[in-house]
Amino acid sequence: MICSVRTLLGFELASVIVNDSVTREAITRKQERELLRFIKEDKHFCRYYDAIYILFHTGLRISEFCGLTVSDIEFGNQRIKVDHQLQRTTQMQYVIQEPKTESGIRYVPMSEEVAACFRRIIANRAMPDVEPMIDGHVGFLFLDKNERPMVALHWEKYLQHIVEKYNKIYRIQMPKVTPHVCRHTFCSNMAKSGMNPKTLQYIMGHADISVTLNVYTHVQFDDAQAEMLRLAKA
């Protein structure tokens, strides 16, 4: 689909090709709040609250998130350094890779709430007998029971079990939530809040602005009405 976007939130864009070939799902703000509240209050899953809160409020790719080390969290500058990602191969080999594109190398701003989550994670981080080193990187924030860095599959399973338990308790069901849903929810929330698309592109690490702009096409009548009212009051 080709859309012409002019003076979009304060800057001009020429014709932009938006890729609609991939369906990207986000949960609502209310669903996000309910899910995080459930996780925080659950005796078993509360241990994952800080990490999942970070996923919902930074837009990090799960491979970037898993690759974070203590030195990547820059509290003084209120930012997260993102210059690598952690992957585990089908042969169970851990590898550090550079982000997919140069745009993936970036600093992601931290809110006070996100910084507080990281502080708790670091303070509660168990010291392994031997710090795992993957391609020269040490101090990974999240280690499994075997003292190896957690990978995407861990967080996919945690979220799957959390949603399953939530849906056994509540009549109004929670849709499927994955780490990518957390990332897309953040992106959608920022878009609906009126963040400049170029700023959002930088935070998300999108190489192509059309990927970011695709989020702006996923608005409903309520979003359009709220934006019209906001502009009328400006």
Active site residues per annotation? 61, 100, 180, 183, 206, 216
> Coil, strand, or helix at residue 51?
helix
181 with 26: CB under 8 angstroms? yes
Element (DSSP H or E) covering residue 120? helix 112-124
DSSP per-residue codes, 167-230: HHH-SSPPPP--HHHHHHHHHHHHHHTT--HHHHHHHHT-SSHHHHHHHHT---HHHHHHHHHH
